[in-house]
Amino acid sequence: MSDRYTDIQKRAAYDLIDGIMRIQQDTGVYRHLTCGAPASWTRLTVITWPYNLLVAGSHGSFHFERQGDDTLDMLDWLRRVRVDPAHWAGKLTNGRHSVEEYDRDRLEGLIHERVSEAVRDDWAPVGLREAVSELLADDWMDDQQSAMRLVGEFQHGMTYRSECSCGAFEDHRSYTSAVCWGNVFHKQSGDDHKVTVHETGGFTFDDVFDWQISKLDYHFVYQCYALKWAIARYDRMNRYGLGSLAAPKQVTS
């Protein structure tokens, strides 16, 4: 379990320590459970029906659906598994993406990892760390799309070679210069003078758009732990015959 998940688990446990559960409905797999924690003002609602579960309250609403032989009663499934927000997110009706958010810390970690690899393997251009520090200081790094564009376009210490099919070549520090050499300075006619340009050195970030730079929303993770708490409290109340005490009082005229 990550430190972040541990902290959220502790927060949920603290908020719900004085939680009072009410069983609004308890008919087979049809349930409606509510909870209020006076000290933290935390509210929690759990509703189940075949293959479905809704958890709602102070930290948002999340609807799970899981079709399977063991999920007619969603509580039975959840009782058998540990809290796993990353796995549970895949069971949301709105999809995992609905509870993902940009994780700048993870992006910076991947950037530093690749820079360290270049330095360790002794192919990092001079001044790479300084150039990357300037990149990370850019305010646009706070926005995911802008950050990915900046990282994807980052280049440092690039070198290029213009090479002609006749055997002539020249090295350059810019792509524009390399192209100009072929189009202007080495302009020749005929099939024997075909110029190509290729990179010979420098640093870029590869496969940037394959990087995983998201994390699960705080409130979703919180509700996962709150849900596990609610199931344990519901089971304990039924185990000790307290379910009827938690049922809403019938009003008679």
pLDDT digits (tens, 9 = 90+) for 179-204: 888 788 777 666 678 888 988 899 99
54 shares a domain with 97: yes
Whether 8 maps to a domain, the answer reads: yes
Residue 13, φ and ψ in degrees, nearest 5: -60, -40
Mean of pLDDT values over 81-100: 96
Domain with 206 in it: 104-210
The pLDDT assigned to 247 comes to 66
142 shares a domain with 108: yes
Of 156, 152, 159, 158, whose CA–CA distance to 134 is shortest? 156
8 shares a domain with 96: yes
166 shares a domain with 155: yes
pLDDT band at 2 (very low <50, low <70, confident <90, very high): confident
The pLDDT assigned to 107 comes to 97
Q: Which two tokens stand for residue 47?
A: 């509703």
Considering the chain, what is the average pLDDT of its residues?
A: 91
- The number of distinct structural domains making up the chain is 2
Mean of pLDDT values over 163-170: 87
108 shares a domain with 43: no
Mean of pLDDT values over 79-106: 96
90 shares a domain with 13: yes
Whether 219 maps to a domain, the answer reads: yes
The pLDDT assigned to 194 comes to 85
DSSP string, 56-122: EETT--EEEE--STT-SSHHHHHHTS---HHHHGGGBTT-GGGGEEE-HHHHHHHHHHHHHHHHHTT
The pLDDT assigned to 70 comes to 85
88 shares a domain with 120: no
95 shares a domain with 9: yes
184 shares a domain with 112: yes
The pLDDT assigned to 168 comes to 87
122 shares a domain with 150: yes
113 shares a domain with 78: no
Whether 252 maps to a domain, the answer reads: no
- Distance separating alpha carbons of residues 96 and 83, to the nearest angstrom: 16
Whether 178 maps to a domain, the answer reads: yes
